[in-house]
Amino acid sequence: MILLDNVTKYYPGDKAPALDQINLYIEPKEFVFLVGKSGAGKSTFIKMLTREEKPTSGKVMVGGIDYTYLRRRHIPHLRRRLGVVFQDFKLLPNRTVYENVAFALEIVGVSNAEIRRTVPKVLELVGLADKGDRFPSELSGGQRQRVAIARSMARQPKILIADEPTGNLDPETSWGIVRLLEEINNFGTTILVTTHDENIVNQLKRRVVTLKDGKIVGDQKSYGHYDLDATGRNRIIKHTIAASMPVESTVEDIRRATNSSRRIITKHNDVTMEPLGGPASMHKDMDVTSPNIKGPVVSSSVGQNTKKASQEAKPVPKRRIVR
Footprint of ligand ADP (CB under 6 A) = 11, 14, 18, 36, 38-44
Crossing angle of helices 141-153/97-106, nearest 10°?
Answer: 20
Name the residue nearer to ligand ADP (CB basis): 10 or 135: 10
Residue 18 Cβ vs ligand ADP, minimum distance, rounded to whole Å: 3
Name the residue nearer to ligand ADP (CB basis): 44 or 306: 44
CB atoms within 10 A of CB 69: 13
Smallest CA-to-CA distance from 16 within 52, 44, 48 is with 44
Residue 78 Cβ vs ligand ADP, minimum distance, rounded to whole Å: 20
Yes or no: say if 109 and 115 are a contact pair by the CB < 8 Å rule: no
Yes or no: say if 190 and 160 are a contact pair by the CB < 8 Å rule: yes
Which H or E run contains 81? helix 75-81
Name the residue nearer to ligand ADP (CB basis): 22 or 273: 22
Residue 261 Cβ vs ligand ADP, minimum distance, rounded to whole Å: 29
Name the residue nearer to ligand ADP (CB basis): 44 or 290: 44
* Gap between the terminal Cα atoms of the chain: 22
Residue 9 Cβ vs ligand ADP, minimum distance, rounded to whole Å: 8
**Amino acid symbol at 106:** E
Strand partners of residue 59 = 5
Name the residue nearer to ligand ADP (CB basis): 48 or 288: 48
Name the residue nearer to ligand ADP (CB basis): 49 or 119: 49
Report helix, strand or coil for 131.
coil
Residue 39 Cβ vs ligand ADP, minimum distance, rounded to whole Å: 4
Decide: residue 13, CB within 10 A, 0-12 exposed, 13-18 middle, 19+ buried: exposed
- CA–CA distance, 269 with 288 (Å, rounded to integer): 13
Name the residue nearer to ligand ADP (CB basis): 194 or 266: 194
Which H or E run contains 154? none
User: Number of C-alpha atoms within 13 angstroms, CB side, residue 225?
Assistant: 8
